[in-house]
Amino acid sequence: MVGFFMLPIWLIYYSCLFAINPFWVLRRSRQHLIRKITRMQTFVCENVSPSVYEWLKEHKSMWNLSLKCGWRLLWSGYVCVVLMGLLVSAFVIGALLIRRVVEEPIRMKGSLNFDYTEKSPVAFLPIIACPEASQDAYLLKNPEIGKIGELRVIPPNHKLQVTILLTMPEPDYNQDLGIFQVRVDFLAADGRTLASLRSPCMLQFRSLPIRLLLTFLKVAPILTGYTSESQKLDINLRGFIEGTLPTACLKVVIE
């Protein structure tokens, strides 16, 4: 009964000792294991026939070798457990440090509504605020916009990347248009242009036989409205770093 109640306390005690001083616990375990083996050997020698005892005595070196191999395997398992603990703790500490130190990137997504009445269609994407009709009229309606220099969404010294996805139909006019250019202006709250990025783009060229063949193969999805005769252009613009003056709006122009 005493052993039954002392077992949990004994386990907790030696677990704490193993965390503090594992080598001492291993030495005690080895001594305890040697005592157990010695008692078992004595019991066997006292209760078996002399011939078996002599055989065990003759193969004593084999038993010592087995004991050494078992001890080496125990040490190997201990090293494996320590390495696995270091690996798991490294992952946990690394994840905590990354969450605390590294800032998550800011992602914004919006639709571009171009004004095709102009020679170069223009679309605005607001970050803080954008002009609706013209920048001057917008500033007259909202005089406080010029005073919000402290209000910002993007932290300073952050690199910005703009990705524009255009869905372009495939009529003859767009095919004959050739190369056109997409310009992105980074506007401040007072309407000033902080920087401009440009990128040339064009529709993927397809000869007339290839277009007819693709149309014939996709005639059923086209008639049902599942797909359309269009191409998607993915334009990536990078190279702008946010400065002390915050970016309030993006102006996208098709030139």
* The model scores a pTM over 0.75: no
In this structure, are 35 and 85 located in the same domain? yes
**Other CB atoms within 10 A of residue 106 CB:** 12
Polymer length in residues for the chain: 255
In this structure, are 187 and 88 located in the same domain? no
**CA quadruple 50, 52, 58, 59: dihedral, nearest 10:** -160
Tens digit of pLDDT per residue, the chain (255 long)? 777 777 778 778 777 777 777 777 778 877 877 788 777 767 766 666 566 666 666 666 776 777 788 888 888 888 898 899 899 999 998 888 888 887 778 888 888 888 888 888 999 888 887 755 444 443 444 444 444 444 678 888 888 899 999 988 887 777 777 888 999 999 888 788 888 999 998 887 777 788 788 878 888 887 887 777 788 889 999 888 888 888 888 999 998
Whether 115 maps to a domain, the answer reads no
In this structure, are 68 and 170 located in the same domain? no
**CA quadruple 172, 175, 181, 182: dihedral, nearest 10:** 70
Find the helix or strand (DSSP H, E) in which 199 lies: strand 193-201
Whether 112 maps to a domain, the answer reads no
Whether 63 maps to a domain, the answer reads yes
CA triple 24-29-35, angle to 5 deg: 130
Counting the structural domains of the chain, the total is 2
Which residue range is the domain that position 190 belongs to?
122-254
In this structure, are 140 and 208 located in the same domain? yes
Whether 114 maps to a domain, the answer reads no
CA 108/CA 4 separation, integer angstroms = 64
Q: What is the CA radius of gyration of the chain?
A: 38
In this structure, are 249 and 129 located in the same domain? yes
In this structure, are 66 and 148 located in the same domain? no
